[in-house]
Structure 1
Amino acid sequence: MAEPLRVIEICAGAGGQALGLEKAGFEHELAVELDENAVNTLRHNRPHWKVVKGDVADPAVWDPEDYAPGPGRAPIDLLAGGVPCPPFTIAGKQLGATDERDLFAWAVEQVKIVQPRALLLENVRGLSMPRFAGYRQHVLDKLADFGYAAEWRLLHASDFGVPQLRPRFVLVAMKPEDFVHFHWPAPTGEAPTVGEALLPLISANGWRGAEEWAKKANDIAPTIVGGSKKHGGADLGPTRAKRAWAELGVDALGVANDVPGPDDVFPVGPKLTCEMVARIQGWDGEEFKWTFTGKKTSSYRQIGNAFPPPVAKALGVAIVAALNRTAARREFDPVIEHDPIYRALRETGDFMTAAQIARKAKEDLSDPEIDRRISLLSRDFEIIKETRQSGLAYKLGAFRAFTGQADHKRHEYFRDRETLSKIS
């Protein structure tokens, strides 16, 4: 039997990605997580793992240098994580690099130190939007500077047997000689409906309406939302999601303590228990068996903020096949462009007029369109402008994101213990 590959997982949450990677053949060398309840869940389920609680970017919590390859120390096989989503979520302000919680750029910088054989980072669909084209290009170019080939892909949990929408934007990177063996996992088939997935659980106390309810719950669920510590108790999402749940016969205004009794009647339908929400998230109680510790609201948030284990397993299996080179070679173009304007400015390193940018980017763009896209870039990068006789000229300045700077505003944000306790 092959030796398990070693993984370091940052922002590990309550273990959705961790469990999926374990099922794919990875052994955790280290898991780092900020939330105490999630840490307790990880330690409860895998007491032999080294689980560290604290801000993953604090060198006092863990030092990436300790895991860099050296004499008698082989490189870590995988650096993985689900870094905070609020900087990119469509429902939020999409502050990106200027959000103090953003750790995506910092995580990419750790690749230079740890030098893992592979990198896996996942986040919300919002990161795939045009708003973050420059941010994505920066990440790809940075990884290329470190000697890695990388690619982004939007994956849908429902393609991997998980009965909910849950699109996730995933980044995978490896050395080019391994990456040519990496294939994005293919869909595994149609996901069960909410009714099919939950019927065994919702009928456990003999509810007479269970079969009829399951027939009505004949579609996959909207995306489970874990919610924020800044707000109230657990519920199943914003207004639009609640309407979608109601159409499935589910009361989304909270989470139930118990499954329905034999004669229970509901105006809309029953509320789901945490166990049911976990089933919707991909913990099936068999292959992906897991126990969540803590009170109901905490458990719900741990579940709702997790990466579905079946999706993590599928990605892990694909990464293992690439690292072991058991998968066929593929054609891969390492020059991937998400934002040719960012790339033109970065490669030139000097002031460029709109006309020069258009020529360099090889796109037929009007001055207003270039200015609009420069405006998007300016939310994540400093853009220096200079008025010339031929018109306005632009130069790419510093990346605004936290990458480990000692003087970054993130440190002040995280020094506030009250704020720290509310970080989601």
Structure 2
Amino acid sequence: MTRPLTAARRGPGIGTSIELFTGGGGLALAMHDAGFRHLLAVELERRACETLRANKARDHTPRLRRPASLKDMWPLIEGDVRAVDFRGWEGQVDVVAGGVPCQPWSLGGVHRGFDDPRNLWPELFRCVRETRPKAVLAENVKGLLRPSFKPYYEYILRELAAPFEQRVEGEDWHDHDKRLAKAIRAVDVDPTERYDVKHLLVNAADFGVPQVRWRVFVVAFRKDLGLSDWQFPEPTHSQLALSYAQDNGSYWREHGIAPPADSPPATLQISDGKRRWRTVRDAIVGLPKPIGDYIEHPDWLHHKGWPGAREYPGHTPNDLDRPAKTIKAGVHGVPGGEGVIRQDDGSIRYMTVREAARVMTFPDDWRLEGPRGEQMRQLGNAVPVQLGRVMAESVASAISGRSLTAGRR
């Protein structure tokens, strides 16, 4: 997949950012493509840090000159975000962004939520207090909306709205939540210490990602910017449009293939005016088939066959002509057959890492470090680049007409 041309490719960009919980770089790359110059990226996992260094990052040191251009490497801190002091970047950051670790809330995890030591929302709030950004862009899994987590989710949103009403040591979060609610109702407050918060559950397929992937986005703008009327981007793609294209034959003609013999009769439909959902076939177009198991293709990075694909009840392959199932953080052992595709001849095989990266909308030159399992884990934990870019560009558009810190050091 080619990386889109953006106005941000050269020069200082349109704003600055700090990236938390950077992982394999999906949201960080999306923010960069939208024009945000990363002043810092923070990541704990060793292999993910190796991936970042292999592409756009270098280790941060106190004497390292802060990036002045989007061509500069991203300063990277490998380590626990809880040990990072962000006060040196106060007043220099337009956006704090991050895909907050999902394990405490994931439907595939143990659902410990706020009791899980991996709940790092408090660290995002601390970064906000210490840097005072104009905006915050955070992503998390759909599991955060489970009814059992709803009170804590609402607490998260209130804490982001009033991050300077800090929880004190020994204070129960319920008691802190009551203080936050009272503080938010107050009228005589400094607007630079309050944020207008919006949140939305989105399907990545509705924004041009060839994958059904439900995620929660939380976006906040500092109140003094006057952006309380900002709204999330509207979906650009639809399932109806895909069905329409397959019914009228345009989808099959685009790919130069005949419709499946068992296709249902075409039905009269009216287009909804959106672009069609992108499919697995769309995602992997132009990629040759893997040469063989364990054999790296000489012309394509991470395009190596992998043996052992199986199909059984509850573990069915991806259909080439539908968006992929949600790519998850695993190779074997993840339920549902998310990493398996059914080919045109009816046979099944595992996706290559490059094909999975295509489904996650990473560019073809993005190098993932580590063995296959670690590469797939990084992809499964990432924000799809295209989805992140849509959100980042909307945030950029909202604040670009106001005084950005671009060019500051």
Pair in the same fold by TM > 0.5: yes
Structure 2 residue identity aligned to 1:249: R
CA distance in 2 between partners of 1:245 and 1:51 (Å):
30
- CA 1:174 to 1:25, structure 2 compared with 1: closer, same or farther past 3 Å? same
Aligned to 2:252: none
Structure 1 residue identity aligned to 2:375: S
Structure 1 residue identity aligned to 2:279: T
CA distance in 2 between partners of 1:266 and 1:11 (Å):
41
Aligned to 2:230: 182
| Offset of residue 84 of structure 1 | 1.1
| Offset of residue 179 of structure 1 | 2.5
Aligned to 1:161: 208
Q: Deviations over 1:364-419 (max 9, x none)?
A: xxxxxxxxxxxxxxxxxxxxxxxxxxxxxxxxxxxxxxxxxxxxxxxxxxxxxxxx
Q: Answer whether contact 1:193 1:219 (CA < 8 A) is retained.
A: yes
Q: Answer whether contact 2:327 2:339 (CA < 8 A) is retained.
A: no
Aligned residues: 285
- CA 1:215 to 1:111, structure 2 compared with 1: closer, same or farther past 3 Å? closer
| Offset of residue 266 of structure 1 | 8.8
Aligned to 1:53: 78
Q: Deviations over 1:329-373 (max 9, x none)?
A: xxxxxxxxxxxxxxxxxxxxxxxxxxxxxxxxxxxxxxxxxxxxx
**After the TM superposition, which residues 18-417 of structure 1 pair with which residues of structure 2 at under 5 Å, given as runs?**
18-47=28-57, 48-58=73-83, 62-69=84-91, 75-145=92-162, 146-176=193-223, 177-180=225-228, 182-189=230-237, 190-203=276-289, 217-227=320-330, 234-235=331-332, 237-238=334-335, 241-242=336-337, 248-249=341-342, 268-285=347-364, 289-325=365-401
CA distance in 2 between partners of 1:135 and 1:226 (Å):
25
User: Which structure 2 residue ranges, 5 or more long, are not aligned?
Assistant: 1-6, 58-72, 163-192, 238-275, 293-316, 403-409
Q: Deviations over 1:296-345 (max 9, x none)?
A: 2221111121100011111111111111248xxxxxxxxxxxxxxxxxxx
| Offset of residue 109 of structure 1 | 3.3
- CA 1:106 to 1:178, structure 2 compared with 1: closer, same or farther past 3 Å? same
CA distance in 1 between partners of 2:221 and 2:333 (Å):
37
CA distance in 1 between partners of 2:215 and 2:122 (Å):
18
Q: Secondary structure at the match of 1:136?
A: helix
Q: Secondary structure at the match of 2:42?
A: strand
CA distance in 1 between partners of 2:233 and 2:136 (Å):
16
The CA RMSD measured in Å over matched residues stands at 2.7
| Offset of residue 45 of structure 1 | 0.8
| Offset of residue 144 of structure 1 | 2.8
CA distance in 2 between partners of 1:174 and 1:301 (Å):
32
State the structure with more CA Rg: 1
- CA 1:245 to 1:52, structure 2 compared with 1: closer, same or farther past 3 Å? closer
CA distance in 2 between partners of 1:277 and 1:178 (Å):
40
Q: Deviations over 1:47-80 (max 9, x none)?
A: 421011011111xxx21112122xxxxx300111
Q: Secondary structure at the match of 1:282?
A: coil
User: Which structure 1 residue ranges, 5 or more long, are not aligned?
Assistant: 70-74, 207-213, 228-233, 251-264, 327-424
- Identical-residue share of aligned pairs (%): 33
CA distance in 1 between partners of 2:152 and 2:329 (Å):
25
Q: Secondary structure at the match of 1:169?
A: strand
| Offset of residue 105 of structure 1 | 2.8
Q: Answer whether contact 1:164 1:221 (CA < 8 A) is retained.
A: yes
Taking structure 2 as the reference length, the TM-score comes to 0.64
CA distance in 1 between partners of 2:318 and 2:55 (Å):
34
Q: Secondary structure at the match of 1:321?
A: helix
| Offset of residue 129 of structure 1 | 2.3
Give 1:14's match in structure 2, choosing from 18, 24, 27: 24
| Offset of residue 205 of structure 1 | 5.1
Q: Answer whether contact 1:33 1:52 (CA < 8 A) is retained.
A: yes
| Offset of residue 136 of structure 1 | 2.1
| Offset of residue 15 of structure 1 | 0.7
| Offset of residue 216 of structure 1 | 5.4
| Offset of residue 115 of structure 1 | 0.8
Q: Answer whether contact 2:339 2:356 (CA < 8 A) is retained.
A: no
| Offset of residue 236 of structure 1 | 7.5
- CA 1:249 to 1:298, structure 2 compared with 1: closer, same or farther past 3 Å? same
Q: Which has the higher helix share?
A: 1
Q: Answer whether contact 1:184 1:318 (CA < 8 A) is retained.
A: yes
Q: Answer whether contact 1:178 1:325 (CA < 8 A) is retained.
A: no
Q: Answer whether contact 2:318 2:324 (CA < 8 A) is retained.
A: no
- CA 1:55 to 1:157, structure 2 compared with 1: closer, same or farther past 3 Å? same
- CA 1:86 to 1:216, structure 2 compared with 1: closer, same or farther past 3 Å? closer
- CA 1:275 to 1:236, structure 2 compared with 1: closer, same or farther past 3 Å? farther
Q: Secondary structure at the match of 1:44?
A: helix
| Offset of residue 103 of structure 1 | 0.3
CA distance in 2 between partners of 1:314 and 1:104 (Å):
23
